Structure 1
Amino acid sequence: MKGIVSLLQAIGIWLLVVLLSVGVGTIPLAIWAALVFLGAAGRADKANATLDRTLMTGETVIARALQHRVFSLFSRRTAIAITSSRILVVKRGLLGGFKMADMQWKDLKDVRLEQNILESICGSNLAFASLDPAHPGIAVDGVPDAAASGMYAKAQYEEQAWEEKRRVRGLEETRAASGGVMIGAGDGAGGGASGDRMVDEIRKAKELLDSGAVSDAEFQEMKAKILGRA
Structure 2
Amino acid sequence: MIEHSGVAQPAGGGPIWDQLQTLLIDGERVRAWALQHRIYALVHRRHLAAATSGRFIFMTRPILGGYDPVTIRWQDLRDANLQVGMVTASLTLAYSANLSDTAAGEGGERVLRAPGLEIGPAQALYRECQAQEQSWREKRRVRSIEEMRAQAGGVQIATGVYPQGAAGAPERVIEQPGPAQPRDDDPTHRLARARDMLNQGLISDSEYEAIKARIVGAL
| The two structures share one fold, judged by TM-score above 0.5 | yes
* Displacement of 1:104: 0.5
Matched, 1:124 2:98: no
Residues 124 and 145 in structure 1, CA contact (< 8 A), matched pair in contact too: yes
Structure with more of its chain in helix, by fraction: 1
Q: Aligned partners of 1:135 and 1:76: how far apart in 2?
A: 29
* Displacement of 1:89: 1.4
**What is the DSSP-based 3-state SS (H/G/I as helix, E as strand, rest coil) of the residue aligned with 1:87?**
strand
**Structure 2 partner of 1:138:** 112
Q: Aligned partners of 1:135 and 1:72: how far apart in 2?
A: 28
Q: Aligned partners of 2:180 and 2:28: how far apart in 1?
A: 34
* Displacement of 1:178: 3.2
Quick one: which of 137, 144, 148 aligns to 1:163?
137
Q: 1:136 to 1:169 in 2, by over 3 A?
A: closer
Aligned residues: 142
Quick one: which of 63, 70, 74 aligns to 2:43?
74
Matched, 1:58 2:27: yes
Matched, 1:148 2:122: yes
1:140-188 Cα offsets, whole Å, 9 max, x none, are 112121211111111111111111111111112222333438xxxxxxx
Q: Aligned partners of 1:175 and 1:116: how far apart in 2?
A: 47
Q: Aligned partners of 1:108 and 1:63: how far apart in 2?
A: 16
**Structure 2 partner of 1:99:** 68
Q: Aligned partners of 1:169 and 1:156: how far apart in 2?
A: 20
- Work out which of the two has the higher radius of gyration on C-alpha atoms and give 1 or 2: 1
Q: Aligned partners of 1:132 and 1:153: how far apart in 2?
A: 23
Q: Aligned partners of 1:175 and 1:135: how far apart in 2?
A: 26
Q: Aligned partners of 2:69 and 2:147: how far apart in 1?
A: 36
Q: 1:200 to 1:71 in 2, by over 3 A?
A: farther
Residues 61 and 84 in structure 1, CA contact (< 8 A), matched pair in contact too: yes
Counterpart amino acid of residue 128 in structure 1: L
1:21-78 Cα offsets, whole Å, 9 max, x none, are xxxxxxxxxxxxxxxxxxx94xx41111111111011110001121101111121110
Q: Aligned partners of 1:114 and 1:151: how far apart in 2?
A: 12
**What is the DSSP-based 3-state SS (H/G/I as helix, E as strand, rest coil) of the residue aligned with 2:45?**
coil
Counterpart amino acid of residue 96 in structure 2: L
Q: Structure 1: which 5+ residue stretches go unaligned? A: 1-39, 182-193, 202-230
Q: Aligned partners of 2:47 and 2:77: how far apart in 1?
A: 20
Q: Aligned partners of 1:130 and 1:45: how far apart in 2?
A: 30
Structure with more of its chain in strand, by fraction: 2
TM-score computed with the length of structure 2 as normaliser: 0.59
Q: Structure 2: which 5+ residue stretches go unaligned? A: 1-10, 99-107, 156-175, 182-219
**Structure 1 partner of 2:52:** 83
Q: 1:136 to 1:180 in 2, by over 3 A?
A: closer
Residues 96 and 110 in structure 2, CA contact (< 8 A), matched pair in contact too: no
Identity, in percent, stands at 35
**What is the CA RMSD across the aligned residues, in angstroms?**
2.3
